[in-house]
Structure 1
């Protein structure tokens, strides 16, 4: 007579079955009715949670394709965190690194999932856009502008901010879509579509050398040099308004406070 299965073995069999009901048999000593309850609770809870985090992707896929994606995710992915708020990041990692694309996948699926995840990531981020980090009223030309840690500079092949059930592009745009997704001081997440020059400006400001930072004017001069603009002062004049607009949106915190 075979020895009874150990508790850990039963746990593995139980978990394997609820993750993959079609490919893994249920433990023999658990009533089928109860096993069905566990299966449905597990699937529905995870699916419902991810629907809330990826509402546009869910509507674009429709129920049948969404359910198939959830089955694949539960069957094939091994999460690295037990935290429910991080489950969306696990789905994005699965789509980008593990899952084989399916013939009926929308071509924008990974990018849209990433864009939707960013909103939740910023909402739950422990980073603070505190005025203590910068002088909110500092001169953005003569001082050193500070980019909020809650402002993410992103580029996508598809216009992810426009995608929905009624607009599902099948080919990428001829030019990438550049966005800043950010959390303001009211803890609201918003986005701003930007051009390449604004993206480069934010990259330069974000990558400032801590030992030898550039003022706003110096950064705009760098931009003018890179553009080979014949009139750098015109770039600086335009840049003044741009810097101020970024501060009004809380993408810039202000200027770096002087120590001492």
Structure 2
């Protein structure tokens, strides 16, 4: 009996994905197969170029096409949603240890903007007058602290770093009330505090005490600065205080 429909589909998709490693399905003209290949690969390349415009421009057309061809051939996406394919590329790039380190980090930096723009996460219930030191501070669902070894916000065509600087690039990405994503630089204390709040539910005092211990100093040495920092973050709706002692 002739191949089942599924077998025919697998032959077709295998050839379209990687024509060098898979024989063409029988009974279909090479011209038609080439049209399908250009259509599918072209759509993928166009989709990702739109999601990563700076990375696309920084790599140049030849290297970009080679990269997307390898991704198209060898990566198995775990999502059928076009809006999530960019995240698949980010994960794929993190496995490409042969590429310069800035490539994966720049892709992640561009991808975070899309994630926040498309996010429909609801904010947790919070106490607008909650005590920042005694209460449990919460990070907004529309804010993400970021740390990169490479200066991702300055990379672009004609400005490709040859090596990572000695200091990391610490950033906060957040979606504002204007429904736009904003990036701002973070001082080391602000970044460490936001990461601590993101990862564990403690009171504000406990977060600052833990950071002081890491720095080898007394909690009182950073409490004033830390409290002022938390007040500023709350005024920008980046931090909130839980209505409960522990969620």
TM-score, normalised via structure 1 length: 0.83
After TM superposition, give the deviation of residue 154 of structure 1 in Å. Answer: 2.1
Which of 155, 166, 178 aligns to 1:174? It is: 166
Aligned to 2:106: 112
Q: What secondary structure, in the 3-state scheme, does the structure 2 residue paired with 1:250 have?
A: coil
Which ranges of structure 1 fall in alignment gaps of 5 or more residues? none
Given that 1:88 and 1:117 are in contact with CA atoms closer than 8 Å, whether structure 2 keeps it comes out as yes
Count of residues paired in the alignment = 245
Cα offsets for 1:205-244 (capped at 9, x unmatched):
33444xxx42x35544554454455792x63333333223
Does 1:242 find its partner at 2:229? yes
In structure 1, the residue matched to 2:11 is 13
Tell me the residue number matched to 2:94.
96
Alignment partner of 1:184 out of 176, 182, 197: 176
Q: Which runs of 4+ in 1 moved over 4 A?
A: 228-231
Aligned match of 1:257: 243
In the alignment, the residues of structure 1 paired with residue 210 and residue 12 of structure 2 have an alpha-carbon distance, to the nearest angstrom, of: 61
Deviations 1:128-175 (A, max 9, x none): 235xx1133544345432211232222111011221113211101112
Instruction: Say if 1:157 and 1:173, in contact at 8 Å, map to a contact too.
Output: yes
Could you report, residue by residue, the CA deviation over 1:90-135 in whole angstroms, capped at 9, with x for unpaired residues? Answer: 11221223x462xxx44411111122222222222342235xx113
Q: Is the 8 A contact 1:185 1:250 kept in 2?
A: no
Aligned equivalents of 1:144, 1:173: Cα separation in 2: 35
| 1:1-260 mapped onto 2 (5 Å cutoff) | 3-97=1-95, 99=96, 101=98, 105-129=99-123, 133-209=125-201, 213-214=202-203, 216-217=204-205, 219-224=207-212, 226-229=214-217, 232=220, 235-252=222-239, 254-258=240-244
Which SS does the other structure have where 1:169 is aligned? coil
Could you tell me the TM-score, scaled by structure 2's length? Answer: 0.87
Provide structure 2 residue ranges, at least 5 long, that are not aligned to the other structure: none
Summarize the Cα distance change of 1:32–1:168 in structure 2 as closer, same or farther, 3 Å threshold. same
Partner Cα separation in structure 1 for residue 97 and residue 213 of structure 2: 44
CA distance in 2, matches of 1:175, 1:93: 24
Contact 1:156 1:177 in 2 (8 A): yes
